[in-house]
Structure 1
Amino acid sequence: METKEKEILMKNTLFEACMKQQWERVSSIYHHSGVVAWEAKITKSGDTVLHILINCYHPAGSKNLLLQIKDMVDIYKLNNILEDDEALRVLKLQNDIGDTPLHLAARLGNTEICTHILSRAQKQGKAYELIRERNFKKETPLFLAAHRGKMEAFQFLLTVFKKENHNPIDICRQENGDTILHSALSGEYFEMAFEIISELPELGNYVNEDGISPLHILATKPHAFKSRSYLGSVDLIIYHSATVRSLKRAKQSAEDDEILNNFPANWWTLVEFFKFV
C-alpha cells in the first residue's frame, strides 16, 4: 500500500474511533503512527485528534478522557520524538476557524488541560507563543477565557504570560477592537471585569472600532446595579447571586461628592465602578 493510501486509511480509522469515542483505540493509533497522526486533520472543520478530544471533554464526564488528552500531549514532550520547536509547531495547529488546542482548553476553562499543553513550552520560556496565538477572529486563548468568564483559566494564562516578561495588553483585543474588559462586561461576568481592572487597569480607557468604551457597555446594563443606593462595597452592585471580590473604596473628597450628586441616582454605581480603574 502506498504512503498516501496509508495516511488516508489512518485518518479514516482515527475519525471512526473518535466518533465512537473509542479513546483507547485512538491513543494506540496515536502512539504508533507518530507525527503523521498528530498533525492529521480528520474532520471537515480541520480538527486534529487533540482538538476533538478537548471539544468532547466535559468536567462531569469521564475522567478517562482527561487522562487520554494528557497522554496525547505528553507524547509531544518526549525529547527523543519531537524537538522543542517541532512540538510547539504541532501544538499551534489550527482548525478551520483558527483555534489551537489551547484556544479550546481556555474556552472550556480547564486549567488542568491548559497547564499540560503549556508545560513543555514553559520550560523553554516559550509558553507566550501559544498564549498569543490568534484564531481567525483575532482572539487569543486569554481572550476566550475572559470572554467565557473562566476566571481560573484566565488567571493562569495571564500569570504565565507575565512571567515570561511580555506585555499582555497586546493579546487582549479581538478584530473589532473589543478588549477582554468589553467582553467580560458584555457577558455580565462582573467578577471577571474587576479582576481585569485590577490586573490591567489601562484597559478601562480602551475603545473598540465603533468608539465604544467599557463604560458605555456598563451603562447599558442598569439591571445589574442597585438603583438609588450609595455603595460602600463593590459586591453590593450585583443584583444576583454572583460573589464579587471585595474592594476597598477610595477616599472621597468634597469635590468628588459634588460631582457625584450631579449624576442621576442609577448612574452612581457606574461612577463607583470606574473609581477602581
Structure 2
Amino acid sequence: MGDPAALANTDSIHDGTEDADPPHVLNRRHFLTVKSHFRRKRHEALLVLAVEDPGRPVNLMNDTLLHVVIACNKTDLAKSIILLMPVETLAAKNLYGDTALHVAAAVGNSEVAKELFRRSEDLIGEQNLKQETPLHKAAFYGHHDMFWCLVDEGNGSPYERREDGATMLHCAIMGNEPGLALEIAERFPLLITSRNTMAVTPLQLMVTVPGLFRSQMVLGCFESILYDCKCCQPLPSTPQAPRPPPCFSIAFTTFPTNDYLNLAIVRRPNLRSRGVLFLIIGFFGFIIWFYAMRYAVYPRTRHLEKIKRTHRKALELIEFLARDPRNMEFYVLGRKQGDGGAPAAGFRERGERQDQRNAPTASTRRWNEPPLILGAQMGIPEFVSTILRVCPEAATYLDTRGRSVLQVAIEHGNREIVRTIREMTRGKNPILPSWLLSRVDKRTGRTILHFASANAPEHNQDALQMQDELRWFETVRDMVPKELVYSRNAQEMTAEEMFTESHQALLKSCKVQLMETGRMCSGLVAAVVFASSFSVPGDKDPATGNPVYFGRAAFTVFSHTYVFGLSCAATSLVLFLSLAMSPYKEQQFRRIIPIKYFFARSSFGLAMLSFLVAFTCNIYLQLYGWQKTKSKDLIPFILELTAFPFICFLVLFFYGSKFGLSFLFHSWR
C-alpha cells in the first residue's frame, strides 16, 4: 500500500478535476474515539486530543479535529481549541484544501472566524484546491454576517477569483442568495461587469439559476395557494422571533375557555341537547384541526416565505445590475454579427483590466449573447420584463444571429414574454420601438410572423396542440403591420405557407391522438351503459306494479341520475364516433374539432359521474331499503364510500398534484 503520510498529503489530491488517488488509510480507532466523545459530549477529552496532535486526520476527508468541531457548531469548544493550538497548525487543510476558516465560513460561524483570524490574519487569504478563499464560501452559502465580517474585520479582498474565474458576486448568485449578491454589487460595482473564464457576467449567470424565479419553479396546488396567499408575505431581512403561522394566526382568547363552558353547563341544564353537543364537538374538532394545520402547514409556509423573499430579491438584483444602459453596451461590445456568432474580440476598456484573461475561446457559446436575449431563450418572463422596465435600451441590441429579443421569444415560443413586449410597444408614445414588430431579417427575409410559423416542440404536443398553434399564429399576425402579413421570405413563401408546411406532422399526430381517445372512451361508455341497463333496485309491488322502493328519495335520485347519465353517455358516444370520422383539416382545428372534443369529454365525464351516483343509490337501497335509515347505518356507509378517495385527494393535494376541471375543460382554451 504506500506510506500513510504520503497518502494524507492533500497537495496531490484534486477535487475531481484530475485523476488522483485519494487516501485509503483510516485510523478507525481514533475515528471511533472522536465520535464517542462527541456523542457523550466529552469536550474535555476532545480538547486533550486536539492539544496532543492538532493536525492529525480524523476521517477519510483528512479533516482535523478542529474542522470537525467547527462543522458540528461547537463554538465554545472550537474557540478553546484555537487558543491552545500552535499558530502554524491553524492552516491545516483537508482533502479539498479547506482550512478551518473555510469550514467556519461555510457554516456561518462568525465567532469562530473572528477567533481564527485574530490569531492568524493570513488565513483570510488561504485558498483551497478550487482557489476559493473563505470569502467565496461565505458568499456561496449566503452567510451575510460572516461575509461582511471577513470583509471588514478580516480585510478580505472581494476581488479574489476562483479557479473558474468566479468572483464573490458570481458565487452569491450560484448559491441562490440574491440578497447578499445585491449588497455585494452595491458596495463593489466593478464586479457587475466581471466575467469568469467562460466570459459569463453575473446578470447572464442569473438565467441559469431556476430557484431565483417563480416561473421556473413547479409548485403543487396547495403550495401555489400558500405562495399566492397575501398573508404569506416574504420574510424580513433581519431575523425575528418565531411568530404564529401567517395563514392561521387565530388568537385562542377569542374562544371560550373550559371553565366558562363548565359554568355555562351548570347554569343551563338544557345544554345536553343535541345542538349544543354538536357545537362542543365542533369546537374541539376545530382546535384539533388548527393544531394539525399548524404543524403540517406552518413549516411549508415558512419555506415558501423564504422562496418568495428570494424571488423578490432576485428582481431587485436584476434592476440594479441592468439599471445602467452602459452595462448593456458592455455585454454586446466586442463581437460581431454572423451565422453562428463571432468570437468575442475584446471587452470594454473598464472590463479589460480584470477580464482580458477570461475571454471566451469558442465562437458558438451562448454567453456571447446579451442577458436579455438569454432570458428570452430560457423563457424567464420576470427576468425579461424587469430588464425592459429599467433599461428599455436593451431591446435595441441584436444577438449574434441578428435577431431581436421579440424574434427570439417568438421563435422559442415564450408567449408571456411576447405579450409583455407587445404591451410595451403599444400607445402613441410606446417605451419600446415599433420596429421590433416590423423588423425583417435582411438575410432570410423573415418577419416575426415567419418566426411564429415554426413547429411546436415535440415534448409539448397533445391532442389539441394544433388549435393552440393556430391561436398563437393569429396572435402574432395581429401584431404585425398589415403590409407585412403576406410578406415573403427568401424562399418566396408567406408565413401561412410556412405554417402549413411545418405543421403537417403535428396535424397527423393530433388526428391519431383524438382517434385513439375516441376509441377508448367509446368502448368504455358502451360497456358501462349496456352492463348496467337493467340494474333497477328492488322487485315490483304486486298491487301497484311499481318498484317496491318507489317514492323513496334514494330511488328518485337513482332514476333521474341514471336517465341523465344514459343521455350523456349516448351523446358522448356519438361525438367520439364523429371525431373518428372527421376529415381533420388544418382550419377545422380552430373551431369545430375542439368544440366536438369539448362536448365529448364533458358528456363523458358527466355520464361517469351520474352513473356513480346512480350505482351508489342502488347499493344503498339494496342494503338499507327495507328498513328505516338510522345514523349508525349511514355513517359506516358514507365512510366506506368516501374515505379512501378523500385520503388520496388529500395526499395528492398536499404533495404537489394539480387539480381542477382540466378533464372536462382542457379543450376549451
Tell me the TM-score range normalised by the shorter chain: 0.5 to 0.7
Contact kept in structure 2, 1:103 and 1:141, CA below 8 Å: yes
1:66-77 paired onto structure 2 within 5 Å = 66-76=75-85
User: Which of 148, 152, 176 is matched with 1:155 structurally?
Assistant: 148
Q: CA deviation at 1:95?
A: 0.7
Q: Hey, what does 1:102 align to over in structure 2?
A: 101
Q: Hey, what does 1:209 align to over in structure 2?
A: 197
Q: CA deviation at 1:218?
A: 2.2
Q: CA distance change for structure 1 residues 130 and 74 in 2, over 3 Å: closer, same or farther?
A: same
Structure 2: tracts of 5 or more residues without a match: 1-26, 216-235, 237-305, 330-371, 392-669
Structure 1: tracts of 5 or more residues without a match: 1-10, 58-64, 77-81, 122-126, 228-234
Q: Hey, what does 1:177 align to over in structure 2?
A: 165
Contact kept in structure 2, 1:177 and 1:209, CA below 8 Å: yes
Q: CA deviation at 1:13?
A: 6.3
Contact kept in structure 2, 1:110 and 1:153, CA below 8 Å: yes
Q: CA distance change for structure 1 residues 28 and 176 in 2, over 3 Å: closer, same or farther?
A: same
Paired residue type of 2:69: L
Contact kept in structure 2, 1:14 and 1:26, CA below 8 Å: no
Provide the rounded CA distance (Å) in 2 between the counterparts of 1:147 and 1:201: 19
Contact kept in structure 2, 1:176 and 1:208, CA below 8 Å: yes
Provide the rounded CA distance (Å) in 2 between the counterparts of 1:181 and 1:120: 28
Q: CA distance change for structure 1 residues 24 and 272 in 2, over 3 Å: closer, same or farther?
A: farther
Provide the rounded CA distance (Å) in 2 between the counterparts of 1:167 and 1:16: 39
Q: Hey, what does 1:7 align to over in structure 2?
A: none
Provide the rounded CA distance (Å) in 2 between the counterparts of 1:222 and 1:39: 41
Paired residue type of 1:110: N
Give TM-score scaled by structure 2 length.
0.29
Contact kept in structure 2, 1:17 and 1:23, CA below 8 Å: no
Paired residue type of 1:154: F
Paired residue type of 1:241: R
Paired residue type of 2:202: P
Q: CA distance change for structure 1 residues 14 and 272 in 2, over 3 Å: closer, same or farther?
A: farther
Provide the rounded CA distance (Å) in 2 between the counterparts of 1:26 and 1:133: 26
Provide the rounded CA distance (Å) in 2 between the counterparts of 1:47 and 1:221: 31
Paired residue type of 1:28: V
| Matched-pair identity in % | 27
Q: CA distance change for structure 1 residues 137 and 272 in 2, over 3 Å: closer, same or farther?
A: farther
Contact kept in structure 2, 1:134 and 1:140, CA below 8 Å: yes
Q: CA distance change for structure 1 residues 44 and 143 in 2, over 3 Å: closer, same or farther?
A: same
Provide the rounded CA distance (Å) in 1 between the counterparts of 2:130 and 2:84: 30
Residues 238-270 of structure 1 deviation map (CA, whole Å, 9 limit, x = unaligned): 9713475999x99xx9x99xx9xx998742424
Q: Hey, what does 2:543 align to over in structure 1?
A: none
Provide the rounded CA distance (Å) in 1 between the counterparts of 2:208 and 2:96: 30
Q: CA deviation at 1:146?
A: 0.2
Q: CA distance change for structure 1 residues 157 and 12 in 2, over 3 Å: closer, same or farther?
A: same
Residues 94-149 of structure 1 deviation map (CA, whole Å, 9 limit, x = unaligned): 0111000000000001111111112223xxxxx2x211111111111000000011
What do you get for the CA RMSD once the two structures are aligned? 3.6
Task: Choose between structure 1 and 2 for higher RCO, CA contacts under 8 A separated by at least 6 residues.
Answer: 1
Contact kept in structure 2, 1:219 and 1:270, CA below 8 Å: no
Provide the rounded CA distance (Å) in 2 between the counterparts of 1:273 and 1:142: 31
Q: Hey, what does 1:62 align to over in structure 2?
A: none
Contact kept in structure 2, 1:215 and 1:270, CA below 8 Å: no
Q: Hey, what does 1:139 align to over in structure 2?
A: 132
Q: CA deviation at 1:210?
A: 1.2
Provide the rounded CA distance (Å) in 2 between the counterparts of 1:99 and 1:107: 10
Provide the rounded CA distance (Å) in 1 between the counterparts of 2:82 and 2:69: 11
Provide the rounded CA distance (Å) in 1 between the counterparts of 2:176 and 2:164: 19
- The structure 1 segments of at least 4 consecutive aligned residues displaced by more than 6 Å after TM superposition are 262-265, 271-274
Q: CA distance change for structure 1 residues 19 and 200 in 2, over 3 Å: closer, same or farther?
A: same
Q: CA deviation at 1:180?
A: 1.7
Q: Hey, what does 1:25 align to over in structure 2?
A: 45
Q: CA distance change for structure 1 residues 221 and 29 in 2, over 3 Å: closer, same or farther?
A: closer
Give TM-score scaled by structure 1 length.
0.66
SS in 2 for 1:38: coil
